[in-house]
Structure 1
């Protein structure tokens, strides 16, 4: 099959989880014998065209814009123009695969112009992020999501939780939705013996201090304020021998003020954005990963920590309880409850045998449920279904 993929982010442009998802899924589909062309956005010094692990990557220029929504509209215009030329020059294509609402307009236009079926992966919804639609911006995004869901031949989501959310938020019948988990390349993570771990660790904490970290976007839905609010109890119980690291780019001013106001400033380390090289090493020397999200469609960050052999503590929201098996591969706590979160962190840090038990089970679970080669075959099955159904339809 020949597949055209539209994604607004792809390495080196990394905004959220979509970038890693598309960068790790499609090489496996190439290995299965499919030709994949991926349309994305120009970023930094990345070339306009290149082949990355078998994927034919095409980057489009987006003209200057006055705001985010205008930028999205211009991006879709560029993707539509370039995508149309590509489908004429390199076609025919069997499928178009769009990732989230930001590329919806281009994907829908190409679908109708070339009469090629559209598959959409919906990674999150606006309704889910805010537990409702409350302003004009959200209404606009929700409209685009609804439009993409309506025009998609089939929809792929990353968890059973998201199947239900797409049914409710986007008025989509359940039989149109396929659940395929996210995956991870566990082999890319270094171990402590692969580098000078102790000296690296001393950049962030004293030798006697445990390192507890959050990594991800700095946004309300990620619950970082709950993480900081749980810290005083953990600090007290461990006699101050702990450091809390907040890893991620974005505006952290509000969180820094919170850390100061509750008296834990000297126990916090706001690292800012870390490159993959440094992040992988950081995870290798850490003692506990914490993800207290208020909304989380899947939780690929938990898989990252599984692969790094770091015990995880998560909230019981969204897809997390599907990814993390409580008491077996991690600890699941009550969403938005900093006392529950603190208890979960302490349970991990105070019991080395339990910590090792969780780590070993979590790493083994990656092989069972989250291998990209297996997930690519599940995606391929959806592709084959759509192509077969398309062959029976007069468009």
Structure 2
């Protein structure tokens, strides 16, 4: 056998109703691994989903109890940690992975204590594990990194011994391969770990699924007039995604594009930030030009319809490891406006398949968000050119079949060097 057959994915969470990029990657590659004769499964925690056993599109899922080893956390703190970057621990997952048979390779999709659990189990079972860095590890702005620990700021941590037990600080050191979704992360990891197998493997997109949608019906369902020029942004309602910037620029935008309307789609991972968005829209008198929908399940056709209801896609993030939603916008044949940050800089070619904006500049700045949004509303030929170029790039470079084949090669190499 020249490749591992039984692949166990271990993400920190796998939640249908609050879907994110990790869930998309795990599910899409698992479906295609199964089609290629492998046997994938998902083992995760009950974070945001108390269901123990289940499946998603034919892929079995096992969920385990967990805890946050801190004193003084409120229920609100725990929920916020569940949604983003919570450093949890699960004894039941550790025991289950130690007993799990058959398994040839672990594919880890997180780090910290949970990553340490997978490392601990892999070393004792003498099988390889690979790590995917989805949300950034080294290439993360300091301001964003600090938000990850906000819920624990006033709590007392007692879990450091647990991390030492499972070797949580050696998760990357002992991995057979480190897979980076974003190019900036890949460059940083290669510099930090020059002797490790480090691979840049981006996310993909289902071109067939996002190719057709019911945009007019979506507008009718949510009360968005057909004559509005609709800008959509898809992503968690969170400081990192910077949706507030779109609202700040909306009055300037409306002066030049009177039919402008903004659609924000995504689960709320920061309720305080959501409240700021609502309050600012009311203060600026633009609430009637903003529609906020708290996300759809990934397999809900409404997500595709939301893209097809729009005229333009906007991603003003302060940091973005990759930008899977850009691929979805391209697959939906939308022109893209995006911040020149993180992995987006390697994904998008400025003025070829998207328009870059500098995050944090004023509405009147030539490199600002409003300027780019106005340009697309006033130039249909520019919209078409960017959208068509984006679709071609998605088609040529980012199919899930291509991504899965590359992933199998990574598995094969890890398996050969570790087991044989």
TM-score grouping bracket, smaller chain normalisation: 0.7 to 0.9
Tell me if 1:27 matches 2:27: no
1 CA distance for matches of 2:283 and 2:346? 35
Tell me how far 1:306 sits from its aligned partner.
1.2
1 CA distance for matches of 2:109 and 2:133? 6
Partner of 1:137: 149
Which structure has more helix as a fraction of its residues? 1
**Where do 5+ consecutive residues of structure 2 fail to align?**
none
Superposed CA deviations along residues 196-221 of structure 1, whole A, max 9, x for unmatched, are x4343132422321111211111111
Alignment of 1:106-125 (within 5 A): 106-125=117-136
Report the 3-state secondary structure (helix = DSSP H, G, I; strand = E; otherwise coil) of the residue aligned with 2:291.
strand
Tell me how far 1:146 sits from its aligned partner.
4.7
Tell me if 1:320 matches 2:344: yes
Kept in 2, the 8 Å contact 1:10–1:20? The answer is: no
Tell me if 1:246 matches 2:277: no
Partner of 1:101: 111
Report the 3-state secondary structure (helix = DSSP H, G, I; strand = E; otherwise coil) of the residue aligned with 1:243.
strand
Tell me how far 1:37 sits from its aligned partner.
2.2
Which of 61-70 and 261-270 deviates more?
61-70
Alignment of 1:197-216 (within 5 A): 197-202=215-220, 203-216=222-235
TM-score (structure 1 length as normaliser): 0.86
Tell me if 1:230 matches 2:249: yes
Partner of 1:157: 180
2 CA distance for matches of 1:329 and 1:162? 22
1 CA distance for matches of 2:355 and 2:217? 29
1 CA distance for matches of 2:326 and 2:104? 34
**Where do 5+ consecutive residues of structure 1 fail to align?**
none
Superposed CA deviations along residues 267-299 of structure 1, whole A, max 9, x for unmatched, are 222222334322221211111110011110000
Report the 3-state secondary structure (helix = DSSP H, G, I; strand = E; otherwise coil) of the residue aligned with 1:373.
helix
Partner of 2:94: 80
2:21 is matched with which residue: 2, 13, 17?
A: 17
Alpha carbons of structure 1 residues 55 and 205: separation in structure 2 relative to 1, 3 Å = closer
Partner of 2:208: 187
Partner of 1:56: 60
The structure whose RCO (Cα within 8 Å, separation 6+) is larger is 2
Tell me how far 1:45 sits from its aligned partner.
8.2
2:286 is matched with which residue: 245, 264, 276?
A: 264
Kept in 1, the 8 Å contact 2:336–2:354? The answer is: yes
Tell me if 1:356 matches 2:374: no
Superposed CA deviations along residues 144-177 of structure 1, whole A, max 9, x for unmatched, are 9753212212100012211123356xx4337531
Tell me if 1:376 matches 2:404: yes
1 CA distance for matches of 2:172 and 2:146? 21
Kept in 2, the 8 Å contact 1:11–1:23? The answer is: no
Alpha carbons of structure 1 residues 63 and 178: separation in structure 2 relative to 1, 3 Å = closer
Tell me how far 1:33 sits from its aligned partner.
2.2
Kept in 1, the 8 Å contact 2:320–2:342? The answer is: yes
Which of 277-286 and 373-382 deviates more?
277-286
When the two chains are superposed, the root-mean-square deviation of aligned CA atoms in Å is 3.0
2:189 is matched with which residue: 150, 155, 166?
A: 166
Kept in 1, the 8 Å contact 2:18–2:295? The answer is: no
2 CA distance for matches of 1:70 and 1:225? 22
